[in-house]
A and B are shown apart, each in its own frame.
Chain A
Amino acid sequence: MTDQRFTGTSTYVATDDLMMAVNAAVTLERPILIKGEPGTGKTQLAVEVAESLGRPLYEWHIKSTTKAQQGLYEYDAVARLRDSQLGDDRVHDISNYIVRGKLWEAFESDIQPVLLIDEVDKADIEFPNDLLQELDRMEFYVYETKQLIKAKHRPIIVITSNNEKELPDAFLRRCFFHYIKFPDKQTMHKIVDVHFPGLKKNLLSEALNAFYRVRDVPGLKKKPSTSELLDWIKLLLAEDIPPEALRSENSRKAIPPLYGALLKNEQDVHLFEQLVFLDRRSRQQ
Chain B
Amino acid sequence: MLIPFFYLLRDGGMKTSITELLTLLEAMREGLAGHSVDDFYFLARSCLVKDESQLDRFDRIFSAYFKGVEDSLADLFADIPEDWLRKQAELMLSDEERARIESLGGFEELMEALRERLEQQEGRHEGGSRWIGTAGTSPFGAYGYNPEGIRIGQQGSGNRRAVKVWDRREYRNLDDSVELGTRNIKIALRRLRKFAREGAADQLDLNDTIDKTARNAGLLDIRMIPERHNAVKVLLCLDIGGSMDDHIRICEELFSATRSEFKHLEYFYFHNFIYESLWKDNRRRHSERVPTLDITHKYGSDYKLIFVGDATMSPYEIVYAGGSVEHWNDEPGVVWIKRLLRTYSNAIWLNPEPIARWDYTPSIKLVREIMEDRMYPLTIAGLDEGIKALH
**Interface residue? B337 (CB, 8 A):** no
Residues in B with CB closer than 8 Å to A259 are none
Chain A residues 124-167 with CB under 8 Å of chain B are 125, 163-166
**Interface residue? A199 (CB, 8 A):** no
Asked if A81 and B213 make an inter-chain contact with CB atoms under 8 angstroms apart, the answer reads yes
From B19, B26, B32, B211, contact of A173 by CB (8 A): B19
Interface pick from B36-44, B64-72, B81-89, B157-165: B36-44
From A28, A81, A165, A173, contact of B183 by CB (8 A): A165
From B30, B42, B214, B260, contact of A27 by CB (8 A): B30
Chain B residues 163-222 with CB under 8 Å of chain A are 179-183, 186-187, 210-211, 213-215, 217-218
Asked if B210 and A77 make an inter-chain contact with CB atoms under 8 angstroms apart, the answer reads yes
Residues in A with CB closer than 8 Å to B47 are 24, 176
Asked if B215 and A166 make an inter-chain contact with CB atoms under 8 angstroms apart, the answer reads no
Asked if B49 and A177 make an inter-chain contact with CB atoms under 8 angstroms apart, the answer reads yes
Number of A-B contacts (CB under 8 A): 84
Asked if B183 and A168 make an inter-chain contact with CB atoms under 8 angstroms apart, the answer reads yes
Residues in A with CB closer than 8 Å to B179 are 163-166
**Interface residue? A80 (CB, 8 A):** yes
Asked if B39 and A20 make an inter-chain contact with CB atoms under 8 angstroms apart, the answer reads yes
**Interface residue? B98 (CB, 8 A):** no
Asked if A23 and B32 make an inter-chain contact with CB atoms under 8 angstroms apart, the answer reads yes
**Interface residue? B52 (CB, 8 A):** yes
Residues in A with CB closer than 8 Å to B17 are 173
Asked if A166 and B183 make an inter-chain contact with CB atoms under 8 angstroms apart, the answer reads yes
Asked if B214 and A125 make an inter-chain contact with CB atoms under 8 angstroms apart, the answer reads no
Smallest CB-CB separation from B47: which chain A residue? Answer: A176
Total contacting residues, chain B, CB less than 8 A: 37
Smallest CB-CB separation from A64: which chain B residue? Answer: B260
From A16, A85, A174, A179, contact of B218 by CB (8 A): A85
Residues in A with CB closer than 8 Å to B183 are 125, 165-166, 168
**Interface residue? A30 (CB, 8 A):** yes
A178 to B181: give the CA distance in the assembly, Å.
19
Asked if A27 and B181 make an inter-chain contact with CB atoms under 8 angstroms apart, the answer reads no
A85 to B15: give the CA distance in the assembly, Å.
57
Q: Kindly supply a per-residue 1/0 record for chain B positions 99-120, scoring 1 wherever the CB is within 8 Å of any chain A CB and 0 otherwise.
A: 0000000000000000000000
Asked if B46 and A176 make an inter-chain contact with CB atoms under 8 angstroms apart, the answer reads yes
A278 to B232: give the CA distance in the assembly, Å.
45
* A28-B23, A163-B179, A166-B180 known; A17-B211 Cβ under 8 A: no
Residues in A with CB closer than 8 Å to B180 are 166
Residues in A with CB closer than 8 Å to B250 are none
A80 to B210: give the CA distance in the assembly, Å.
10
* A77-B214, A84-B218, A125-B187 known; A21-B15 Cβ under 8 A: no
**Interface residue? B374 (CB, 8 A):** no
Asked if A175 and B50 make an inter-chain contact with CB atoms under 8 angstroms apart, the answer reads yes
From B39, B52, B214, contact of A81 by CB (8 A): B214
Q: Which residue numbers of B lie inside 8 Å of A, CB to CB?
A: 15, 17, 19-20, 23, 26-27, 30, 32-33, 38-39, 42-43, 45-47, 49-52, 55, 179-183, 186-187, 210-211, 213-215, 217-218, 260
Nearest first, the 10 A-B pairs at minimum CB distance are A20-B42, A21-B46, A172-B50, A77-B214, A81-B214, A179-B52, A77-B211, A17-B42, A166-B183, A84-B218
Known A35-B52, A173-B17, A176-B46; further 16 A-B contacts with Cβ < 8 A: A20-B32, A20-B39, A20-B43, A24-B32, A24-B43, A24-B46, A27-B27, A27-B32, A28-B27, A28-B30, A32-B46, A33-B50, A166-B182, A172-B51, A177-B46, A179-B55
